[in-house]
Amino acid sequence: MNSSGNAKKTQWRWIIIYVLFGAEMIASLEIFSFPFFAWSSKILGTEKTSISDLLSFELLSDTLFSQSLRINVIVWWLLALIAMILSLLFLQLFRKTSFASKNYSQFFFTLSLALMVVFTELILLNQSYSSFSLLGKIILVFSFLIISALVLVLMMGFSRFACVKAFRALPGLSLGVVLFLFFNFFRLYFGKATRPGIALNIILFFIILLALMFFSWLRRDKEPGLTLLKVSRLLMLLSIIFGIFLTLMPVWQWRKIFLSGYHHSGNKPDFPNVIMIVLDTARADHFSFYGYPRATTPFLEQLAKDSVVFENAFSTAPWTLPSHASFFTGLYPSEHNCHYENMRLAKSYQTLAEDLSKMGYFTLGYSNNEMLTRFSGLTQGFDRFVESSKARFYTGETVKLFFQTLMDENLYYDNGARATGRVIKKWLARINRHNTRYFLFINYMEAHIPYPQFAEAFKFFDQPDEARNRLKNKIPQYDIYNCHPELNSQIISDSVNWYDGALFYLDLKLKELFQFMRDNAYLDNTIIIILADHGESLGEHNLWGHAIGLYQQLLWVPLMIYAPDKLAPARIKRMVSLKDVPEMIQALLKDKSPLQIQDSGSEELKPVFAEVFRFKSKVQYFKIFCPDSEYLSLLDRRQKAVILVPYKLVWDSKDAHQLFNFVDDPQEMKNLFSSDEETFAELNNAIKLFLLAHPLPGETQKTLDAQTLKTLKALGYIR
């Protein structure tokens, strides 16, 4: 009797493991299948992605240890537990039916998997529900109920058909995964797929389904062999163990400060902490401490009085990825080769985080920009890096955001500043308890669309309450604006007012963070660098957003260093590039004054450069969306800018060169290319030397991988 009880106990233990393994398979395949579906759904379409992603070891490795997979596994395990609880309740209701009574364990296992498939349908329903009318919503709910019932009947019937003599996990597990991928395809890809892509995937699903049924029918009367059973159980256990490792990875990433005796020879007690705060998409000419007439940044204006402020700081590129790569590596985009035509920083490049880690710093990063991930290569060198965004692509991200906003609905109304403040305060408290020197990188996205929805963000409207109600849940449609530049004054006014309000709201959040640090003495022996990665076009030159162009509103960025123990407050007029930031930090760590701050005479004449490359994936989109727009032509070119105050020369691969005196002409409306031959010749020589030192890559653009395409779509760069 005792052995019988042990056998029964063992069987149920394994059934639970089978269900958890099924959930982990679903969580993993949802992400790992992305490159295939991104490719197959675009068959015969204009937007291309590469099937070679499926064979890319680098991409597979990044996916395996990605935050997306970790969250997905955690969420699907939680859904599996809910499914098992519901299955037990169903079993109590239907325990007298013949199948349930004779195949209790098989019934429980299959029903748990079926309910997980139903959860996928529920997420699909949730994402579609708000876009329908009342009648459409009623039809949608009834459709959900009918399809869910069909899924339950199909899986229970298949389980009874395929498992006649003994419990078998593989048939039900296979069917559950296939059905999940089928519904997940409709949730994520159907609306953007080509007709041939839809047909291909539906045919593929039915072929797999028929093959699964055929092979299950062939083996319906056979019991699984003992060796095969042991091997399959061992693989499942290893998979579960790896899943547990993934869920505990944040603990592993904090190990340096938890382990006693963690020391590096370079980490002297008097080494300062370093905090880098990036204000994504923040143009300098809209900051009040740079002379903007509106009080958009009152806190930063006060902080600037105790800081070194650079009045002529320029980004190396007009968008996130190459700019971040530049102030992480100290290189121009054509040197680090991370830009539109190759959206990944190679591991061979040494980053600021890697340098500081070798010096004994504990390196942390918190980013609200989805471009900054393992997949872009910009997280290398960080002991702990959190990617936080409101993107709802995978199930884990969708469920996580749902429950976060359920607990605090205000988290939905900004681009992460509220949540960022909470996390950073906990991090700082934890680090300082362990007396560990640290490098902390933070990326804020409040000045990037969609703008915050809080009342503070509507401060600069004539009627703030009316504007907030009118623009609630609205997102500026920059692609439409770029396609149709003849906009009415209301759209332009709304965009500028809201952008300024977003900066004001962000300034408030920075004030809260600094007050917390000041109250807890965390500012002591700490260097804080505040900068923007690039600016934003708000209708100037008929451009919106920051995909293209090398105009002032995109390249002139705020940059200040707060280090009152090391640097006296100053306003630096000389030109600096964001690629100089690592050099400045290293100088400060050596108790030296950065070269960029020193008055070194002839060094003032050293030019800075900026670059933008062809955005071919967006070219393909605009050929369909807006084929006759001038914006389409602007996307399909490379540009280089050389800046030597007061002049800027923009070299254009289609010979549309531009020369501006941006001091006398801050809006850069007067092209001096033909009229000021002497200045053009001087700057053109600098451009030629730059091109010789940094030759243009080949004309063939590298095909974007599926993960990069997803990220670009989430940020609104492409659709």
User: Which amino acid is present at 285?
Assistant: D
Q: In whole angstroms, what is the distance from residue 243 CA to residue 70 CA?
A: 8
Least confident among 77-91, 280-294, 372-386, 704-718: 704-718
| 599 pLDDT more than 80 | no
Residue 401: band (very low, low, confident or very high) from pLDDT cuts 50, 70, 90? confident
Strand partners of residue 577 = 314
Provide the 8-state DSSP code for 556: B
Q: In whole angstroms, what is the distance from residue 403 CA to residue 445 CA?
A: 21
Least confident among 177-186, 438-447, 450-459, 580-589: 177-186
On whether the CB atoms of residues 651 and 641 are closer than 8 A, the answer is yes
On whether the CB atoms of residues 467 and 497 are closer than 8 A, the answer is yes
The number of CA neighbours under 13 Å toward the Cβ of 518 is 7
Q: In whole angstroms, what is the distance from residue 390 CA to residue 408 CA?
A: 14
Q: Are strands 570-577 and 308-314 parallel, antiparallel or unpaired?
A: parallel
Least confident among 111-120, 190-199, 318-327, 424-433: 190-199
Helices (H) and strands (E) in the chain, counts: 27, 14
pLDDT of res. 686: 87
pLDDT in tens, 565-592: 899 999 999 999 999 999 999 999 998 8
DSSP-based three-state secondary structure for 259: coil
CB-based contacts of 80, cutoff 8 Å, min separation 6: 19, 20, 22, 23, 112, 116
H helical segments located in 65-194? 67-93, 98-102, 104-129, 134-162, 170-188
Q: In whole angstroms, what is the distance from residue 6 CA to residue 714 CA?
A: 51
- DSSP string over 316-347: SSSSHHHHHHHHHHT--HHHHT-BTTB----T
- DSSP string over 106-136: HHHHHHHHHHHHHHHHHHHHHHHHTTS-HHH
pLDDT in tens, 105-145: 777 888 888 888 888 888 877 777 767 778 888 888 888 88
Residue 53: band (very low, low, confident or very high) from pLDDT cuts 50, 70, 90? low
Provide the 8-state DSSP code for 562: E
Encoded tokens for 92:
């109590």
User: Which amino acid is present at 631?
Assistant: Y
Checking phi first, is residue 472 left (phi over 0); if not, alpha (psi -120 to 50) or beta? beta
| Strands lying side by side in the sheet with 526-531 | 384-387, 362-367, 438-444, 273-279, 526-531, 559-562, 308-314, 570-577
pLDDT of res. 162: 67
Least confident among 184-193, 402-411, 690-699: 690-699
Q: Which of the pair, 474 or 553, is modelled with greater confidence?
A: 553
| 393 pLDDT more than 90 | no
Q: Are strands 658-661 and 647-652 parallel, antiparallel or unpaired?
A: antiparallel
On whether the CB atoms of residues 345 and 335 are closer than 8 A, the answer is no
- DSSP string over 691-715: HHHSPPPPSSPPPPPHHHHHHHHHH
Between the CA of residue 523 and those of 171, 393, 526, 528, 687, what are the distances in Å? 60, 38, 5, 9, 42
Q: Which range is most confident: 78-87, 210-219, 523-532?
A: 523-532
| Among 615, 602, 701, 687, residue whose Cα is nearest residue 651 | 687
| 220 pLDDT more than 80 | no
Q: In whole angstroms, what is the distance from residue 326 CA to residue 334 CA?
A: 10
CB-based contacts of 233, cutoff 8 Å, min separation 6: 14, 17
Domain ranges of the chain: 2-252, 271-601
pLDDT of res. 250: 85
Mean pLDDT of 371-393: 87
Q: Which range is most confident: 5-19, 48-62, 259-273, 284-298?
A: 284-298
Mean pLDDT of the chain: 84
Does domain 271-601 match CATH 3.90.1330.10? no
Torsion of Cα atoms, 339 then 345 then 350 then 356, to 10°: 100
pTM summary value: 0.87
pLDDT of res. 381: 94
| 602 pLDDT more than 50 | no
Q: Which of the pair, 655 or 509, is modelled with greater confidence?
A: 509
| Among 3, 48, 560, 498, residue whose Cα is nearest residue 277 | 560
Provide the 8-state DSSP code for 352: H
pLDDT of res. 106: 76
Residue 259: band (very low, low, confident or very high) from pLDDT cuts 50, 70, 90? low
Residue position matching structure tokens 């063939």: 700
